[in-house]
Amino acid sequence: DAGVIQSPRHEVTEMGQEVTLRCKPISGHDYLFWYRQTMMRGLELLIYFNNNVPIDDSGMPEDRFSAKMPNASFSTLKIQPSEPRDSAVYFCASSWATGYQPQHFGDGTRLSIL
């Protein structure tokens, strides 16, 4: 079975540019999560969706960040405008809705803002 698929794997762009990260969850999973990992702050939850609806976006750092889930098989995390401090590894994860189910993570997008 295909796992969580993220693209691109690496992104290098200049400050001020718009960045779009993409995620395809595991088919049938009802929850989708976006995380950010840095050396200073570790692994942080940014936002999560249930059945394509955002449930908790309290981890989104500021208005420059936005996330959408237009359908059950696709989600995007957008940063506009990007800043050097946004450099991090961004992970997407998905899980089943029912019960206490584990999350399955993608391989991440390594983002560098110059």
Q: Does 7 bind another protein (CB under 8 A)?
A: no
List of residues 6+ apart from 39 with CB closer than 8 A: none
Amino acid sitting at position 108? G
Binders of another protein among residues 32 to 61 (CB under 8 A) are 33, 42-45, 48, 55-56
Q: How far is the CB of 61 from another protein (least distance, A)?
A: 16
- Whether a cis peptide bond, with omega within 30° of 0, leads into 61 is no
Which range touches another protein (CB under 8 A), out of 14-22, 65-73, 75-83, 103-111? 103-111
Closest CA to 59 of 77, 71, 74: 77
Which range touches another protein (CB under 8 A), out of 16-24, 70-78, 79-87, 100-108? 100-108
Amino acid sitting at position 71? N
Residue 21 in tokens:
């990260």
Binders of another protein among residues 60 to 89 (CB under 8 A) are none
Q: Which is nearer to another protein, 15 or 55 (CB)?
A: 55
Closest CA to 110 of 1, 33, 9, 6: 9
| Residues lying near another protein in the complex (CB under 8 A) | 4, 31, 33, 42-45, 48, 55-56, 91, 93, 95, 100-108
